[in-house]
Amino acid sequence: MKSQRHFQAQSSDIILSSAPKTGTTWLKALTFAIVTRRHFDGSTSPLLTTVPHECVPFLEVDAVEDSFHRSPKLPLLATHLPYTSLPNSIMSSHCKIVYICREPKDAFISLWHFICKLAPQEEEHVPLEEALDMFCKGISQYGPYWDHVLRYWKASLECPERVLFLKYEDLKSDTLHYIKTLANFMGCPFSLDEESEGVAQKIMNLCSFETLSNLKVNKTGMHRSTTPLATKNDVYFRKGNVGDWKNHLTDEMVQRVDQITEQKFSGTGLMF
């Protein structure tokens, strides 16, 4: 509510939007590396020493703090807010939005692991069945997963020059292509010189799961360490695979999630 009331978007802003556990950290790293590429090289990028969540702050968490200072040079800001809850100024400024989503079963499994890792050690982990039941009923922090995805999907169809809709799975299978798509969409396409120097390839390597998850800052560092929201950076890096749900869900669970996906997405053109 605070961000809805007070956030003043500029037309040059780029909002990175996602439901939790759908590739936010990766999208932050990629877009940060793309927009700052002329200021840093492979050895000086802040991504080597700072978790991507500190490079690109969250609108509804970081930007509402009184002490928050936004870098005037960085147009990026992230949010997990559903499309219909975005601050009005994001709509009225017509700034760009990049949305990333993920196959629902993988998003759920990633979320379940994340919640278990964040829970205090003395607390029992929420059983998978219970967590899935809540996910399917739409009881989650940023609202029902399918509705979150669908509303951004519709916005991207209505206004493709303003809303870029990405899928984690597509980003995994053709990362280089989507790095170029992102650069074009954000208004900073790679020049011919950059193409021949393989700049997009270097960004892909810097932001890969292997590189980021093995950096000291992301293995042992903490994020928002002086606040009640202090979080270990390594919780944002688990496996980074497509299809990990196969290792966790029973046939019955798969059927339940797939049925909702089919029911919610049929006729929308959105498929996983």
Site of interaction with ligand A3P (CB under 6 A): 18, 20-26, 29, 106, 110, 113, 207-209, 212, 236-240, 244
Of 93 and 147, which CB lies nearer to ligand A3P in the complex structure? 147
Report in angstroms how near the CB of residue 209 gets to ligand A3P at its nearest: 4
DSSP H helices, the chain, are 2-6, 24-35, 52-55, 88-93, 104-118, 128-136, 145-158, 168-173, 175-185, 192-197, 199-206, 209-213, 216-220, 251-265
Which lies closer to ligand A3P via its Cβ, residue 159 or residue 222? 222
Q: How far is CA 46 from the centre of its chain?
A: 18
Nearer to ligand A3P, 158 or 243 (CB): 243
Three-class DSSP category at 158: helix
Q: Are 76 and 32 in contact (CB under 8 A)?
A: yes
DSSP-derived secondary structure for 18-75: E-TTSSHHHHHHHHHHHHTTTT--TTT-GGGTS-HHHHS-BTTTTTTSTT----TT--
Q: Which of 75, 72, 121, 67 is nearest to 98 (CA)?
A: 75
Q: Which is nearer to ligand A3P, 40 or 114 (CB)?
A: 114
State the catalytic residue, choosing from 53, 69, 80, 125.
80
Tell me, yes or no, if 80 is annotated catalytic.
Answer: yes
Minimum gap (Å) between residue 168 Cβ and ligand A3P: 7
Per the DSSP assignment, residues forming a β-bridge with 239 are none
Give the shortest CB-117-to-ligand A3P separation in angstroms: 10
Reduced to 3 states, what is the DSSP secondary structure of residue 225? coil
Q: Report strand pairing: 222-223 vs 231-232.
A: antiparallel
| Shortest Å, Cβ 50 to ligand A3P | 14
Q: Give the nearest distance from C-beta 28 to ligand A3P in angstroms.
A: 8
Of 88 and 254, the one with the shorter C-beta distance to ligand A3P is 254
What residues are labeled active site?
80
